[in-house]
Amino acid sequence: MPRPCSHYPVTDFTYFATAAKGLEEVLAGELRALGTDEVAPVSGGVHFRGGRADGYRACLWLRTANRVLQPVATFPCHSAEQLYEGVRSCPWEEFLNPGMTLALDASVRDSVLTHSRFAALKGKDAIVDRLRDHYGQRPDIDTVAPDLPVNLHIHKNHCTVSLDLAGEGLHRRGYRLERTAAPLRETLAAGLLLLSDWDGSTPFVDPMCGSGTLPIEAALLATRTAPGLARTFAFQKWPGFDARAWQALRDEAHQLRRPAAAMIVGADRDPRALVAARDNASRQQAAGGIIWDRSDFSRLTPPPAPGVLFCNPPYGERLKDDGALDTLYRSMGDTLKQRWTGWTAWLLTGNLDAAKRIGLKATRRIPLWNGPLECRLLKYELY
Ligand SMILES: C[S@@+](CC[C@H](N)C(=O)[O-])C[C@H]1O[C@@H](n2cnc3c(N)ncnc32)[C@H](O)[C@@H]1O
């Protein structure tokens, strides 16, 4: 039998914040730092419990989460009929007023139902049918910016139906419109910084900054700026939205902001990358103090030590010539040894063979996933 809407309506919700593989513990740490009780990391995300405002706070403050989901039903799902009935049994009329738009996305794994698009369509039919019966009119579908984004997760013939609080993924902070080749996801960039325990009190340099993601995320962290402060979220359009609680959270976030204590530098040898990075930074107030420098890494002058250097060099998927990649990594190693004494360097790479050319011993090697690419975050202490 379907077990619909077991968590609704109640004052406490169970939430699930999703994260890139490898960042679950970092995300759990972020939630604990926000004062969230009952935090349970699992592969792909973190379960946590809290009231409505805790869901809002999570969207506003979490740097490494991709989404914050609020499960509203969970039931066995061995067939399309079970899926339809399970989804239809939720009180969608409580979540969606007439005139609001809807969209569904689905993921399916190790189940009788194998097609996520089919599952999403079946789920959408169930919601639309229920709302048409209730209101006498069907809701519109908006796949770009729906008022109510719904997520279906079917795993081992078990379906979880969730409301997606943010709508657009949380990596969309509102500043990055310009992209260069292979930009890091904002949430992964923030995860690297949190893994390093950099607290903003020493200089930060990214000598291969591309579109500027790492320096801009560093500026957000150093100035204690909530990453969601410059955007809106789907939950703001939901029935029962607590506008007063949301305003209080935003006011608190504004008050917590502080000036950056140390220099943040983004450099790249490619002038187009610098244009994109500057442009992105111009859309984020916290990034106003970043120093941008067009330079080859080998010629970049480090600020006085100690400091942290973060670098996301090319991995070579596009550089077909392995020799060129080896030369680049070898030259990076030489530069670090000769010019960056007293610094701590963190490198994210998906090319471990090339990383050997650096010729320095990593004191930490953290496995992380950059999209589909398995990577390592390597730490070097440059004595
Ligand atoms: C993978 S991209 C970095 C992407 C960046 N993290 C982002 O989020 O947009 C690598 C960058 O390294 C730069 N680069 C490659 N070799 C360099 C060198 N020797 N000195 C400075 N920049 C270099 C490239 O121009 C490119 O922008």
Q: Which atom of ligand 1 is nearest to the CA of 273?
A: 27
Nearest to 184 by CA among 63, 331, 290: 63
Half-sphere exposure of 58 toward its Cβ, with a 13 Å CA cutoff? Answer: 36
- Residue range 19-32: average pLDDT? 97
Average pLDDT, the chain: 94
- Residue range 110-118: average pLDDT? 95
pLDDT for res 321: 65
Residue 341: DSSP 8-state:
T
- 230, amino acid identity: A
Q: Which domains does the chain have, with CATH numbers?
A: 3-164 (3.30.2130.30), 186-224+258-381 (3.40.50.150)
Residues with CB under 6 A from ligand 1: 180, 182-184, 207-211, 213-214, 268-270, 273, 296-297, 312-314, 328
Contact 148, 234 (CB under 8 A): yes
The structure's pTM equals 0.94
- Residue range 227-251: average pLDDT? 97
- Residue range 290-319: average pLDDT? 92
CA distance 45 to 41: 6
- Residue range 86-105: average pLDDT? 95
Give percent of the chain with pLDDT exceeding 90: 91
CA distance 196 to 149: 34
Site to substitute for ligand 1 among 184, 185, 269, 321, most atoms within 8 A of C-beta? 269
Give percent of the chain with pLDDT exceeding 70: 95
In our burial notation (b when 16+ CB lie closer than 10 A, e otherwise), range 228-243 reads bbebebbbebbeeeee
pLDDT at 259 over 60: yes
pLDDT for res 319: 53
Higher pLDDT, 197 or 27: 27
| Phi–psi pair at 283, nearest 5 degrees | -95, 5
pLDDT at 64 over 80: yes
pLDDT for res 76: 97
Nearest CA to ligand 1 atom 12: 208
- Residue range 49-69: average pLDDT? 97
3-24 pLDDT, tens digit each: 344 434 445 679 999 999 999 9
Q: Which atom of ligand 1 is nearest to the CA of 270?
A: 25
Distance 251 CA to ligand 1 centre (A): 37
pLDDT for res 118: 97
pLDDT-based confidence at 237, cuts 50/70/90?
A: very high
pLDDT for res 320: 59
